A and B are shown apart, each in its own frame.
Chain A
Amino acid sequence: MKHLDVAAIKDGSVIDHIDSKSTLKVADILNIQNEEQVVLVGVNLTSKFLKKKGIIKIEGKIIDQKEANKIALIAPNATVNIIKDYEVVKKFNTVIPEIIEGIVKCFNPNCVSNHNNIKTKQHVVNKNPIRLQCHYCERIMGAKDIVLI
């Protein structure tokens, strides 16, 4: 019988193949603290592809592509499995969206988004390597500049 490091869920979503160190950030972005049903979070699990991976299982919640894409910046290898009656009924990868909203802080301290109560917004100008252009101040951030809110 297959051994599971993190218990199975009956109906809901499993986000798998998260870079282990990013798992809790992904959990934040998915706002799991406000879930009312069971949420299982595993880190440092063995993975063929990532050596160590993270996994998040959310009972009773179906994550769609749009929501999954919110985590693509920090978990580009993540896969989403939709579970129904303990079986995977749908599986898809995260895709970096064209616009990132409310996730990344602008690295420019003089940007209006760091001084007003507004949702940050960046346009993805390149996906690999990642380059984000702030919608407001137009400065371009590389991977080393990305700080999550």
Chain B
Amino acid sequence: MASFQQRDIISIRHFNKDELLYILDLARRMEQMDHADLLKGKVLASLFFEPSTRTRLSFESSMKRLGGTVIGFAESGVSSAAKGESLSDSVRIVEGYCDIIVLRHYLEGSAQLAADVAAIPVINAGDGANQHPTQTFLDLYTIQKTKGTLEGLTIGFLGDLKYGRTVHSLAYALAHFGAEMYFISPPSLRLPGDFMEVLKDRKVKCHENESLMGISKRLDVIYCTRIQKERFADPVEFEKVRGIYRLSKAMLEEVGIKDDLKVLHPLPRVDEMDDSLDATDYAVYFHQARNGVPVRKAILAAVLGAIA
């Protein structure tokens, strides 16, 4: 296993199974122990060119809980990008002020570009529709905690599979664990063909469906995603698929599910998941959001070389 020290966290594709499990184990240790001074004196720059609540705040919370400090901005309008500064230049400037950069950007590949430019580690907090690796670590952590294992599960990905970066990252990661995958979406939001090809090359059993009917009883986990209005160039296309899936307690019990089904969602939700699910044992999405802190603490501590 390669060391995490000073390593960029850009794409889940860059990590093998042992490395994924190492971070999950470290996250467990983070939940069990007090690490208040682990990153004392370290500075994280949080560069968010796109809106975020969970990712940005859980990174900030993680850094502060480890004794570090945070600088940065939460929207591109208040950065020099608004004056036309290139991303490369922004990164070159900011790296002089901090020990690690967390970057969210609307263009795919922006995190890799930043990592190529910066001498300090860069963590991808979401690059367009491409990857969101730290979300994947916390999704894996949540599945492992709630299902007791990551091995051999049957997962249904539901919603926007075309633009949903969390789906792309998680599907790659679960390929290491012998998962069978159902991709449930309207035809216009199917998983891009090149992603599907890679999964098939890795011998993953993949299926494409347009609804849960007939397959719901096979699923151990449903990973539900929001249909992201902001990714559609054409609002007419968005209206065609808006509200197409609405998970509720009654709906799930009507189509038939396993008693120990778990429903994850990277949040925010709009109308694809009804409040009636919240109080059930199926719903683990709020735990999932909370797991962002121990997982991101683990990643920050490992990358900054504070823990082995």
Contact = CB atoms under 8 A, between A and B. Distances in A.
Most chain A CB within 10 A, of B106, B109, B112, B130, is at B109
Given A137-B128, A138-B11, A116 B87 contact: yes
A138 B86 contact: no
Given A112-B87, A116-B88, A117-B86, A134 B198 contact: no
Contacts of A139: 108, 130, 192, 194
Closest 5 CB pairs of A and B: A136-B109, A137-B108, A137-B109, A140-B194, A112-B109
B191 to A, nearest CB: 13
Given A118-B88, A137-B128, A138-B130, A112 B197 contact: no
Interface of A: 106, 108, 110-113, 115-118, 134-141
Contacts of A134: 109
Main secondary structure of the interface of A (DSSP, over half): loop
B113 A136 contact: yes
Nearest to A113: B109
B113 A116 contact: yes
A98 B108 CA distance: 22
A140 B131 contact: no
A140 B198 contact: yes
Interface in B109-137: 109-110, 112-113, 127-131
Contacts of B200: none
Given A112-B108, A140-B198, 18 more contacts: A110-B107, A111-B109, A112-B87, A112-B105, A115-B107, A116-B86, A116-B88, A117-B86, A136-B109, A136-B112, A137-B108, A137-B128, A137-B130, A138-B13, A138-B109, A138-B130, A138-B131, A140-B194
Contacts of A135: 109, 112
B94 to A, nearest CB: 16
B114 to A, nearest CB: 9
Contacts of A110: 106-108, 128-129
Contacts, number: 57
Main secondary structure of the interface of B (DSSP, over half): mixed
Contacts of A141: 194
Interface in B125-165: 127-131
Interface string B280-292: 0000000000000
Contact of A111 (B86, B87, B108, B197): B108
Nearest to B110: A112
Nearest to B112: A136
A114 to B, nearest CB: 8
B100 to A, nearest CB: 20
A122 to B, nearest CB: 11
Contacts of A136: 108-110, 112-113
Nearest to B106: A110
Contacts of A140: 194, 197-198
27 contacts: A106-B109, A108-B108, A110-B108, A110-B129, A111-B107, A111-B109, A112-B113, A112-B127, A113-B113, A115-B107, A116-B87, A116-B88, A116-B113, A118-B88, A118-B113, A135-B112, A136-B109, A136-B112, A136-B113, A137-B108, A137-B127, A137-B128, A138-B11, A138-B131, A139-B130, A140-B197, A141-B194
A117 B117 CA distance: 13
A142 B176 CA distance: 25
Most chain B CB within 10 A, of A116, A118, A137, A140, is at A137
A7 B10 CA distance: 53
